Amino acid sequence: MKRSDIVFAAVSVPIDLLMLWAAGSAAYFLRFQTFSDIRPVIFSLPFSQYAGYVILVSLWTLLVFTCSGLYTIAHNKIRNEIQKIFIATAASIMAVIVFIFFIHELFSSRFIVLAAWILSFLFVSVGRMGLRVVRFILYRKGIGLHSIAVIGSQKKTAEFCSYIDAYPNSGYKLALRVAEFSDSSRHHLAALVQRNELDEIFILDSTLSHDRIQEIIDFSTLHHIGVRYSADIVGAKKLVVSMLAGVPLVEIQKTRLDGWGKIWKRIFDVGASILLLGLLAPVFALIALAIRIESPGPFIYRNKRVGQRGLFNTYKFRSMYVRYCTGQDYDASGNAEKLENTLIREKSERAGPLFKILNDPRRTHVGRFLERTSLDELPQLYNVLKGTMSLVGPRPHMPKEVAEYQQHHHQLFSVKPGVTGLAQIEGRSDLDFDDEARLDIYYIENWSPFFDFVILCKTPWAVITRKSRV
């Protein structure tokens, strides 16, 4: 999902709220000032009191808008959007009328209610059209366009590309067109991704084999870019159909954690991490003191992991003696890395690319306790606050572990890594990596806020019973 799409969707919420408040205010002044001479006002309603009602009704209307699909992150046609606004404002005002019917203490001005509905529809529509105008202006300047590569050799492919070149206000720009997905085209596509000049691949060749399509999907998964294909190509599980240049396109959605899902998850992550960091500050201080008393050196250990955007530092409480810590900041000679590799060969109890060293001799006494209780990972709340991790998601792994991934394992990078996750509450380090990956991919494909809530609630019990290694 392009960042500009998410920004415009997020901005539409406060703009709608502002337009609704303006419509309600305009209806009030129309009644009490403009039309008061034509039809005298026979009831008293101070604007300060009325403004409170307007805010409540505006928030209710936003909820109706959400249920009506007005905040889905998609390029809807103007006609469809106007229809949704009309229906949503009508439904909202009908609910208000029913409420007023039972609560007679508010006011009985039918004019204000009718005017508020008409003005809400007009004002919100104008606000949405204004957003579209701004977006089209930015598109004309080349800002916010989706860079796409088109694969196909048929006539409709040429017509499609001509349309994209002729109409930049469609929101797309053509970065590359290739007749087939070959080694050469793969190289060109990878180069575009490397330069951050490719967002999606469009497959318009209906003659491509299933294996070739799967290769393109694997390529997109590896490089974290989207895939859409013409509707007469069969495949994939989660599909969204859209029309562009008269061509039906099916988008492969790798996760529900996109668009608004990403916004809600980020808001929750920031709020929860700030709260937890504040509440756990005394615990942090005690752990830091215990680490320093037993073993001189920093109490925070920075470790390189691979996430959605590449390498990043995870923060943990140091559980090993400093001389055994791996990484450029601690192991300039490489001796600690060599020792770790030896221990992996001799003592690792996990199969697959991941390792867990049984009775690790490098750990301090405090470190063993921290590792056993998962308290060593509390500083990753700072990663969550920074945005490199989420509270819930697949666990981040080391570069040397990721180097042994199979192709389909790269779907784990579709979302941010998490402090805890489905695999952690279902089995911790007792799971083989393939089983862990399957659980995490299931989470990615079936994400919901409630799913996150369940995982977070189950995590403390998983730690206590030692079912998993968070």
Instruction: Please say if the pLDDT value at position 426 is more than 90.
Output: no
d(CA 171, CA 138): 9
Q: What is the mean pLDDT of residues 266-287?
A: 94
Q: Are 415 and 390 in contact (CB under 8 A)?
A: yes
pLDDT for the residue numbered 20: 94
Instruction: Please say if the pLDDT value at position 422 is more than 80.
Output: yes
CB atoms within 10 A of CB 212: 16
* H helix intervals, 68-173: 78-102, 110-140, 155-166
pLDDT for the residue numbered 350: 66
Q: Are 176 and 167 in contact (CB under 8 A)?
A: no
What amino acid occupies position 420? T
Which token pair is 419? 């402090």
pLDDT for the residue numbered 467: 46
pLDDT tens-place string over residues 124-163: 999 999 999 998 898 888 888 889 999 988 788 888 899 8
pLDDT bin (cut points 50, 70, 90) of residue 470 is very low
What amino acid occupies position 286? L
- Residue 243's region, left for phi above 0, alpha for psi from -120 to 50, else beta, is beta
The residue ranking higher by pLDDT, 419 or 253, is: 419
d(CA 391, CA 425): 13
CATH class held by domain 146-252: alpha beta
The residue ranking higher by pLDDT, 41 or 74, is: 74
Residue entry with tokens 């309600």: 24
Provide the residue ranges of all domains of the chain, joining segments of one domain with +: 3-140, 146-252, 260-465
Reduce the DSSP state of residue 172 to 3 states and report it.
strand
The sign one gets for the Cα dihedral 36, 42, 47, 53 is: negative
Average pLDDT over the chain reads 84
Q: What is the mean pLDDT of residues 326-339?
A: 84
Residue entry with tokens 């129309």: 30
Q: What is the CA radius of gyration of the chain?
A: 28
pLDDT for the residue numbered 236: 45
Burial of 449 (0-12, 13-18, 19+ CB in 10 A): exposed
pLDDT tens-place string over residues 54-100: 899 999 999 999 888 888 876 667 888 898 899 899 988 888 877 77
